[in-house]
Structure 1
Amino acid sequence: MWIVLGLLTVFWLPDIQTAYYCEDAIVRCEEDSVWTRCYEDKILTCDQRGRSNPHFVRLSLNSSLETLNVAVGQQHRVFIPLSALKRTRRVDKGQTTVVATVINSSRFQLDPHQGSDQGQAAQLKRRSGSVMGQSVLVVRVGEHPVKNLLVPVRLTFRHNLPEMEEGTCVFWQDSGLENGTGFWITDGCDTNRTASEFVCTCNHLSFFAVLVNPVSSVAKRDFMALSYISYIGSALSVVFTIISLIIYKCTHRRPTDKSIGVHMNLTVALLFLHLSFLVCCFLVQLLNENWENWVCPGLGLLLHWSLLATFSWMALEGFHIYLLLIRVFNIYIRRYLLKVSLVGWGLPTLTVVVCWVFSVYGKHTLVVIDDNGQNSTAHMCWLSSDFPQMRPVYYTTTVTLPCSVVLSNCCLLVLVVIKLRRLRREGGNNWRNMCKDRGGQLVKDCTTVLGLSCVLGLTWAFTSTTYVSIPGMYIFTVLNSLQGVFMFLWSLALISRSRADNSSLRDTSSQKMMMTSFNSNNEK
């Protein structure tokens, strides 16, 4: 009898010890070097305890089932096409086990490392952000990986997010360093949003989630290069905007000149913008926790106010050019400079005061990937990353306003080009002379249009390229950090053209165009 008991102990007790419940599968895999692979294997064979868990679905399918559409709890649904099931049946010889479950996102350590085969394109597909509902949907079909599907799987995530919130479907990619870390990536997944759902279509099976307000991470070398370009460009803009103000003051002493007043206010706004940007970037590194609580919000307010004031005066610059160039007859506005100043400085001031009351400003965190592919953070004084409604405030004040200004000024520039062509045709007797110097006139016209583009802030249209590629970030950074320099060159061009026109009236259309954006014949 003791011999029988001993044999039962040897052969039956190990089977009892190796049995485990599905709820414990993730705990058993925590010490594994790549816990995600371990977890995918264990959920195929684990035992379900008691009543079925709505967040854990496991089905054994035979060859008669064509597709699978199953709910995982109340918030998730999985649709698996026939092609995915057929592929696993060929490998697993008929019977296929399908598992769909939801786990907490806290298990995933965002400590990505860049593999040797991952370049800039792979980095742009990485995403960082908050996992919606802290829920990760795991889908496993059969014992072997399923990828490169011609008909994608469809994953549904129910949500109650406001319209201002954005979301992107991602899946978990192991870092390859055998330490259990990885990163979220969008490769092979598309996002479709409805009023109540995110529908993710992916060509493979993995760990899926929806990142709320995801942002692209930037490699550290690119971040450092962009930072140096911004610092140098902003420093040059500070210097040249000061010189521009001195030139305006010395060459135009009439206090009633409306155009010069608008130009000077725009230049002052640019000076504040670049100066506050430099202060916010450098001073945040020197602040301790005590100073940071009130100094950094103040600097963030200053930077936000400067940005809003800059776009306000760009819009007013476009409005002023419209009055002078398009509606040139019977235009008189009493106390014109005072009224536009109230708009140009008043609206930004009112906006930042409201934001200050709601504690919008503080330390803003940026995600950076270092040379080893590891995530790190950089800080600046701006809209606080900890403010719950930071995204709506950001999109309303720093996306909607610039887009509106750029769009309206683009339309104005088109009208300017049309007006320029019309003035050319009105040259009359001088048309033959102008044809002889067509190349020179083309250069002058291009200079006028480019100068007006800088004055009207059209270089900010390159903001859209920053979401597409790293070169787009460089183009945007160079053009807008040097905007003060461009304003200085524009002021020099206007002054030199003004003096040239005093001695030669050979090109009446250029004279009208340049002087329209610089001088006004209407007195206060």
Structure 2
Amino acid sequence: MLVHAEKRRHRPSMWMWTTLLLLAALCFSTTQTANWCENVLEECRKNPSNWTKCYEDRILTCVPRRRGTPGFVRMNVKPSEEAEGNVTPDVRVQIPSSALQKIKGASALEEVMVVASVLNSTYFESPTETQNNTTPSVLGWRVLSVKGGTDPIKNLIEPIKLTFRSEENVTNGLCVFWKEPENLSGKGSWSTDGCQTKFNGEEFICSSSHMSFFAVLVNPEMSVGESHNTNLRYITYVGSALSVIFAVISFFIYMYLRRRGRSEKAIGIHMQLTAALLFLHLSFLLSGSWFHVVEDQDDGWACRGLGLILHWSLLATLTWLALEGFHLYLLLVRVFNISVERYLLKLSIVGWGFPTLAAMACGISGVYGKYILELKDKENPESKSSICWMSSEFKHRQVIGYLTVAFLCLVVLYNTCMLTLVVFKLYLIRSGNMGLKNSNQWRNVKKEKGLDLWKKCAAVLILSCVLGLPWGLASTTYISLSGVYVFTILNSLQGLFMFLWSVSLVCKSRSHRSTAAKDLSTQKMITASTSN
């Protein structure tokens, strides 16, 4: 009996087990239903059409799982004071007392709550097309959310100030807020209404008359004034017109050289590249002036056709530039001994076939049409220009544009390597280390070792322009205004460089003929003297 009593005394009673189970269930339920601040964004994103409204409502009542959550600040201040604090080391918010007093239910004695948090810009559905037809670039991928009270805070007399420290190499930016669509089926967009921007070289200081989601849009393209835009347009059109004229002259010069017995393969490639350049600059002039000449500015079939021809001619020019580099490679490796059967025919199939197939595929997909380009003029923000190119309304226009740019980069990189190889070979020839003493192909080249260095440098520069290396100067347009001018001038005068190259070939041909004539006359004199 005593043993059984002792066991009952140490055995837990049923009500104790029941109490423990209820406490565990209560803790589990509390953990599952707690409005953790770290989970608000993920839960609100389940409804993409209205997630920003959900986030603003729940961020005021959420419970931080831990203190010091990165990118999240909750400030309890009196309306008579000023709310100020760092949300992150690079983002700071400053809210005047007049803005705090507009929070619903605010009184002089009780504190009000203001929440500021930093979100990743990828959560926002950036519009596929903005006014300048480029996807906006958000500084540091940071979007600052500022919320106080349940009702919207707007029309502030004293604006709130938001500071974004810039670690990127940018010289211009624009403070914007996220504007919700008027209906659930629409898309939100970045807007500058009520926002002002100041930049001191290191920080963007945004002033806003309302609370919302804020960011700084930076454009990778340099913003230039209306005067510079006008100058660049004149340079482009005048340079393209000159290129058309010089391309036609160059074409006839190459035909003349071909009849004179010059290398049929090299001259043939030069003629094909000249024709591609002629089509490119002609189509650019027609596409750029279409909306200035024709009164009907709709996106019609004529504009789509001009856009297709412009893209096709650009691809053809890039392809023939690559083939020029390929032919140069064969000359250096095979030493003027190319014995490929139907060499020009095969190159022509590649040079014209690839651009045709690519342009036809893009045309079937409906990519071509009216392209609207905003000129980014601060004095006249509505200044725009139109050209027949890839339509601004086409959804996947940027993908095709990126593929075209990638192809251009590959061509420039390949031809740069070929030009470097040419310069290296010329250096070896000049130093006499080529080891081609018995080669007839390099004998005439070695005789010209006494030419001035500046002539060789000029030839290399012209050759680099013929190979399309000025296209690589597109990277300088992101750095300075002078880079924009250099890029525009060099690439609009491609036809002139082809003309200079053709003239150099004519001079070289005359030099060879005069040298051959002197050798022949000398041989006749020796024969006559020996016969006497």
Q: TM-score, normalised by structure 2?
A: 0.62
**Quick one: distance in 2 between partners of 1:444 and 1:188?**
45
Residue 98 of structure 1: how far off its partner (Å)? 2.9
1:372 counterpart = 2:379: yes
Q: Which residue of 2 aligns with 1:400?
A: 406
Q: Deviation per CA, 1:129-152, whole angstroms, max 9, x where unpaired?
A: 4699xx975337999855667899
Conserved in 2, the CA contact under 8 Å of 1:233 and 1:482? Answer: yes
Q: Which residue of 2 aligns with 1:234?
A: 240
Conserved in 2, the CA contact under 8 Å of 1:129 and 1:214? Answer: no
Specify the SS of the correspondent of 1:375: coil
Which of residues 387, 399, 417 in structure 2 aligns to 1:411?
417
Q: Which residue of 2 aligns with 1:19?
A: none
Q: Which residue of 1 aligns with 2:115?
A: 99
Q: Deviation per CA, 1:188-226, whole angstroms, max 9, x where unpaired?
A: 899xxxxxxxxxxx8879752486997555432221111
Inter-CA distance 147–212: structure 2 relative to 1 (3 Å threshold): closer
Conserved in 2, the CA contact under 8 Å of 1:169 and 1:210? Answer: yes
Conserved in 2, the CA contact under 8 Å of 1:59 and 1:98? Answer: no
Report the AA paired with residue 403 of structure 2.
T
**Quick one: distance in 1 between partners of 2:90 and 2:384?**
42
**Quick one: distance in 2 between partners of 1:268 and 1:483?**
12
Which of residues 356, 364, 373 in structure 2 aligns to 1:349?
356
Which of residues 492, 513, 521 in structure 2 aligns to 1:481?
492
**Quick one: distance in 1 between partners of 2:228 and 2:512?**
46
**Quick one: distance in 2 between partners of 1:281 and 1:86?**
46
Inter-CA distance 86–370: structure 2 relative to 1 (3 Å threshold): closer
Inter-CA distance 356–344: structure 2 relative to 1 (3 Å threshold): same
Conserved in 2, the CA contact under 8 Å of 1:240 and 1:484? Answer: yes
User: What runs of 5+ residues in structure 1 fail to find an aligned partner?
Assistant: 1-51, 73-77, 112-125, 153-167, 174-178, 191-201, 506-524
Inter-CA distance 365–131: structure 2 relative to 1 (3 Å threshold): same
Q: Deviation per CA, 1:333-385, whole angstroms, max 9, x where unpaired?
A: 10011000000000000000000100100000100244724232110000111
**Quick one: distance in 2 between partners of 1:262 and 1:467?**
33
**Quick one: distance in 2 between partners of 1:151 and 1:491?**
50
1:171 counterpart = 2:171: no
Conserved in 2, the CA contact under 8 Å of 1:128 and 1:216? Answer: no
**Quick one: distance in 1 between partners of 2:458 and 2:359?**
36
Q: Which residue of 1 aligns with 2:34?
A: none
Inter-CA distance 251–172: structure 2 relative to 1 (3 Å threshold): same
**Quick one: distance in 2 between partners of 1:457 and 1:360?**
26
**Quick one: distance in 2 between partners of 1:417 and 1:289?**
52
Which of residues 254, 257, 272 in structure 2 aligns to 1:251?
257
**Quick one: distance in 2 between partners of 1:485 and 1:304?**
21
Q: Which residue of 2 aligns with 1:315?
A: 322
Specify the SS of the correspondent of 1:55: helix
1:333 counterpart = 2:340: yes
Q: Which residue of 1 aligns with 2:56?
A: 55
Inter-CA distance 441–378: structure 2 relative to 1 (3 Å threshold): same
Residue 500 of structure 1: how far off its partner (Å)? 2.1
Q: TM-score, normalised by structure 1?
A: 0.63
Inter-CA distance 469–128: structure 2 relative to 1 (3 Å threshold): farther
The structure whose Rg is larger is: 2
1:469 counterpart = 2:491: no
Residue 464 of structure 1: how far off its partner (Å)? 1.3
Q: Which residue of 2 aligns with 1:424?
A: 430
Conserved in 2, the CA contact under 8 Å of 1:189 and 1:203? Answer: no
Backbone CA RMSD of aligned residues = 4.9
Conserved in 1, the CA contact under 8 Å of 2:196 and 2:206? Answer: no
Higher RCO structure, 1 or 2 (CA under 8 Å, sep 6+): 1
**Quick one: distance in 1 between partners of 2:330 and 2:90?**
64
- Among the aligned pairs, what percent are the same residue? 43
Q: How many residues align?
A: 393
Inter-CA distance 443–349: structure 2 relative to 1 (3 Å threshold): same
**Quick one: distance in 2 between partners of 1:483 and 1:223?**
21
**Quick one: distance in 2 between partners of 1:145 and 1:497?**
71
Inter-CA distance 294–255: structure 2 relative to 1 (3 Å threshold): farther
1:159-308 mapped onto 2 (5 Å cutoff): 171-172=175-176, 180=193, 207-209=213-215, 217-253=223-259, 254=261, 257-289=264-296, 292-308=299-315
Residue 286 of structure 1: how far off its partner (Å)? 2.7
Report the AA paired with residue 393 of structure 2.
D
Q: Which residue of 2 aligns with 1:389?
A: 396
Specify the SS of the correspondent of 1:374: coil
Conserved in 2, the CA contact under 8 Å of 1:88 and 1:141? Answer: no
Residue 475 of structure 1: how far off its partner (Å)? 0.8
Specify the SS of the correspondent of 2:366: coil
Specify the SS of the correspondent of 2:500: helix
Q: Which residue of 2 aligns with 1:444?
A: 455
Inter-CA distance 260–431: structure 2 relative to 1 (3 Å threshold): closer
**Quick one: distance in 2 between partners of 1:65 and 1:205?**
29
**Quick one: distance in 2 between partners of 1:481 and 1:332?**
36
Which of residues 462, 469, 475 in structure 2 aligns to 1:458?
469
**Quick one: distance in 1 between partners of 2:308 and 2:491?**
20
Residue 409 of structure 1: how far off its partner (Å)? 0.4
Report the AA paired with residue 375 of structure 2.
V
**Quick one: distance in 2 between partners of 1:298 and 1:336?**
32
Conserved in 2, the CA contact under 8 Å of 1:127 and 1:185? Answer: no
Conserved in 2, the CA contact under 8 Å of 1:127 and 1:184? Answer: no
